[in-house]
């Protein structure tokens, strides 16, 4: 090998705000053909906001928000922040028996009432009838919002529509990557309807949605078994196993420390154009070695 050109490749990458941990990563990056993107915080801004609260069964909006925010005080999920922010300064009841259901939601007991908050799969598992929310769910999800449902005492009481807009640079960056011939895949725990809506806006080729945190690395393995050379781009703690499994793990700067420590490449700028820069530098460096 010619270590000198690799070293200059690593240096050149740094000039573009791309930190490469080891020479091998640059080499592997040069033969990647598939890019797998996390949705929240990678394609999107990662600062979701509650835009609509729809209630059912005569529930007051203020009551629904109180329950939801009380539960989410115990969670550090980006969706939890959206809900507690919407509740503002209001003093909240305490939650007993708080539980996180990874990749699905949260539950607990508030004022003697069993309260459950999360995605539709979670509601279905807990035998909560969600039929009356079908229309709002579809409308909100198809427009790119993530619907989060709230049940109290076994009954659906509210749906929170939470929006996390695409990062301003994402669509242009993905267009560039698509033109370079990479296959672009979204990997997310969010529901398929919301995932497809965001994928359309971003210019993603293929969506793998509704994946539990444990399933993300498995999804990468399946792509590798199909003969693909995979780079995974993510920012969250729950992306770490997939970042480790991928041929090249790329962490968004400003993401979780665990993601950055696991990945072999870190983007200093929170801009997916840096992915194209990194791959171009990797290819140029390896060409120079031949
Ligand atoms: P992502 O792949 O976007 O990081 P997660 O695996 O963290 O998604 O979560 C998948 C889905 O589970 C979310 O879209 C949401 O519907 C639900 N969920 C997870 N955690 C929470 C929470 N704390 N509050 C509400 N919903 C949640
Ligand atoms: Mg994320």
User: What digits encode the pLDDT tens for the residues 240-276?
Assistant: 999 999 999 999 988 889 999 999 999 999 899 999 9
Give the closest residue (by CA) to ligand 1 atom 22.
105
Give the closest residue (by CA) to ligand 1 atom 24.
105
Q: How many angstroms is it from 255 CA to the middle of ligand 2? A: 8
Q: What is the pLDDT of residue 148?
A: 98
Q: How many angstroms is it from 76 CA to the middle of ligand 1? A: 11
Alpha helices in 91-156 (DSSP H): 120-125, 134-142
Alpha helices in the chain (DSSP H): 3-15, 23-29, 61-72, 78-87, 120-125, 134-142, 170-179, 192-202, 215-225, 240-245, 257-262, 273-289
The model's confidence at residue 210, banded by pLDDT at 50, 70 and 90, is very high
Neighbours of ion ligand 2 (CB under 5 A): 38, 40-41, 235-236
The residue among 47, 38, 48 whose CA lies nearest residue 275 is 38
User: What digits encode the pLDDT tens for the residues 163-191?
Assistant: 999 999 999 999 999 999 999 999 999 99
73 close to ligand 1 (CB < 6 Angstrom)? no
Please give the radius of gyration of the chain, using alpha carbons only, rounded to the nearest integer: 21
Q: How many angstroms is it from 199 CA to the middle of ligand 2? A: 14
ipTM of the complex: 0.96
Q: Does the annotation mark 235 as catalytic? A: no
75 close to ligand 1 (CB < 6 Angstrom)? yes
How many angstroms separate the CA atoms of 207 and 34, rounded?
Answer: 13
pLDDT at 1 over 60: no
Q: What is the pLDDT of residue 94?
A: 94
How many angstroms separate the CA atoms of 142 and 72, rounded?
Answer: 25
pLDDT at 21 over 80: yes
pLDDT at 22 over 90: no
The model's confidence at residue 290, banded by pLDDT at 50, 70 and 90, is low
Q: What percent of the chain has pLDDT over 90?
A: 85
108 close to ligand 1 (CB < 6 Angstrom)? no
Q: What is the pLDDT of residue 45?
A: 94
Q: What is the pLDDT of residue 10?
A: 86
Give the closest residue (by CA) to ligand 1 atom 27.
105
User: What digits encode the pLDDT tens for the residues 97-125?
Assistant: 999 999 999 999 999 999 999 999 999 99
Mean pLDDT of 152-157: 97
Pick 155 or 4 by higher pLDDT: 155
How many angstroms separate the CA atoms of 97 and 74, rounded?
Answer: 11
How many angstroms separate the CA atoms of 223 and 81, rounded?
Answer: 33
Mean pLDDT of 219-225: 98
Catalytic residue, candidates 24, 33, 38, 271: 38
120 close to ligand 1 (CB < 6 Angstrom)? no
Among 35-39, 74-78, 243-247, name the one with the lowest average pLDDT: 74-78
Q: Which two tokens stand for residue 226?
A: 């199909």
pLDDT at 286 over 90: no
190 close to ligand 1 (CB < 6 Angstrom)? yes
Q: Which two tokens stand for residue 225?
A: 């078994």
Domains of the chain: 3-45+166-289 (3.40.50.1000), 49-163 (3.40.1110.10)
How many angstroms separate the CA atoms of 241 and 249, rounded?
Answer: 10
Q: Which two tokens stand for residue 106?
A: 């949260």
């Amino acid at each position: 090998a010619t270590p000198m050109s690799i070293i200059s490749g690593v240096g050149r990458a740094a000039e573009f705000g791309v930190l490469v941990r080891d020479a091998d990563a640059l080499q592997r990056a040069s033969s990647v053909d598939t890019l797998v993107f996390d949705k929240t915080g990678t394609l999107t801004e990662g600062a979701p906001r509650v835009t609509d609260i729809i209630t059912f069964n005569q529930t007051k909006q203020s009551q629904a928000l109180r329950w939801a925010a009380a539960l989410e005080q115990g969670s550090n999920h980006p969706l939890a922040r959206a809900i507690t922010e919407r509740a503002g300064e209001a003093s909240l009841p305490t939650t007993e028996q708080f539980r996180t259901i990874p990749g699905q939601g949260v539950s607990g007991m508030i004022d003697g009432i069993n309260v459950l908050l999360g995605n539709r799969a979670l509601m279905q598992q807990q035998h909560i009838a969600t039929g009356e929310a079908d229309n709002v769910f579809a409308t909100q999800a198809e427009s790119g919002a993530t619907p989060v449902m709230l049940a109290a005492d076994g009954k659906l009481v509210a749906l929170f529509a939470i929006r996390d807009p695409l990062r301003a640079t994402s669509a242009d960056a993905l267009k560039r990557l698509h033109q370079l011939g990479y296959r672009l895949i979204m990997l997310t725990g969010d529901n398929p309807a919301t995932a497809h809506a965001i994928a359309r806006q971003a210019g993603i080729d293929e969506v793998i949605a509704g994946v539990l945190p444990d399933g993300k690395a498995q999804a990468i393995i399946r792509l590798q078994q199909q003969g693909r050379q995979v780079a995974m781009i993510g920012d969250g703690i729950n992306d770490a196993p997939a970042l480790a499994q991928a041929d090249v793990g790329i962490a968004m700067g400003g993401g979780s420390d665990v993601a950055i420590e696991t990945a072999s490449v870190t983007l200093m700028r929170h801009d997916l154009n840096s992915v194209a820069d990194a791959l171009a530098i990797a290819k140029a460096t390896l060409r120079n070695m031949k």
